[in-house]
Every structure is written in C-alpha cells, then in structure tokens.
Amino acid sequence: MASGEYISMRAQRDRYEYLLDMERGELEEFPDEEREELVLIYQAKGLTGSEARTMADRIMQNPEIALDTMAREELGLDPRQLGAPVPAAASSLLAFAAGASVPVLPHVVSAGNLAFAMSVALSALALVLVGGLLSALSGKNVLWGSTRMLIIGVAAAALTFGLGAIVGEIIGTARPLP
C-alpha cells in the first residue's frame, strides 16, 4: 500500500510540475497572450475590463507571481501544495499496518472459534470508532459515519472472504471455518 501511495503521489506531483513548467514556458514565450488570459479570468470573476487589465498588468510584472497566479487561476493548482510522496507513503504504511493488526491481534492471544469471534468483534468496534471519530472531526453525523464505516468494512471483509474461499476451492486449499 505504501509503495502504491508513493507511486501515485509521485506521478501526481510529476504531472503538476510538468504543467507548471509548461505554464512557465508560456509566460516567457507568450506574455501578452497570458496577460490576456488573466484579463479574461478576472472579468469572468466580475471585474471591469479596466480593473482586470490593471490587475493583470501588475501581476505580470513579477514572473514568480505571474506563474503562481496562472497556476491557481488557470490550472487550479497551488504550487506550494503539490503533495509529498514520502510522507504520504509513510502515513499509508502506518495506517494500513495499524488497521491490519486489529483483526490479527486476537489470533495472537487465542485460537479457533474464540479468536475468530474476537477478531470479528474487535474489527467491528474499530470500524465504528474510526467512522465515528472521522465524522466528528469533520462535523458530520457521528452515528451515520460509524454505520457507514461498519457497512463498508463488513462488505469489504465479506467480499475478501468470499473471493478467498472461491480461490481456495479452485486451487484446492479451502479449509472450513474455525
């Protein structure tokens, strides 16, 4: 999961850097056309032609401000927030490791049907708590957030279990439930 997160963030960052480089080149090669783009953008936001032209002229005086403005206004990017692949990968690794440990932990301290039941109960409790916490932190309904997380988690577990059972049957390693 962490490597996938790294690759995803790196690809996204590479794409954004490419777009910024393209915009930088356009600003250097075609400053008048870029100025006119800014005028049109600001007119679309409600400024008069004269106000938009004054603002565009002032922005175009500084190449870095011009690039930052065009990135935001034309591309919808914030050049200072392109994403950091390594921290994203590390947090993904930690989050998935923590999440994966929840259903496994009961099997470390017990075995058989008791471990299976504890794993299901502990996993359900973790899903409800995480869903509720995320909802509370985002100002949403905690009960709905908890329920939604539980439903999605149970569906994912059922799908994974079902696919595992099918693959086990196909390759001949299926075992009955504990």
Between these two residues, 66 and 81, which has the higher pLDDT value? 66
Q: What's the mean pLDDT in 106-121?
A: 93
Residue type, 25: G
Angstrom distance (rounded) from CA 46 to CA 102: 54
What pLDDT does residue 170 have?
80
Q: Chain-wide mean pLDDT for the chain?
A: 89
- Within 10 angstroms of residue 23's Cβ, the number of other Cβ atoms is 21
Collapsed DSSP state (helix, strand, coil) of residue 116: helix
Mean pLDDT of the 145-160 span: 94
Q: What local confidence, expressed as pLDDT, does residue 81 receive?
A: 75
What is the average per-residue pLDDT within 151-174? Answer: 86
Tell me what the mean pLDDT of segment 146-151 comes to.
95
Q: Which long-range contacts (CB under 8 A, 24 or more apart) does 19-24 make?
A: 19/71, 19/75, 19/77, 20/67, 20/71, 20/75, 20/77, 20/79, 23/67, 23/70, 23/71, 23/74, 23/75, 24/67
Rounded-to-integer distance, Cα 104 and Cα 41, Å: 55
**Distance of alpha carbon 54 from alpha carbon 57, whole angstroms:** 5
pTM as predicted: 0.59
Residue identified by tokens 């099997």 is 107
Q: What is the tens place of the pLDDT at every residue in 69-113?
A: 999 998 888 877 777 788 888 888 888 888 889 999 999 999 999
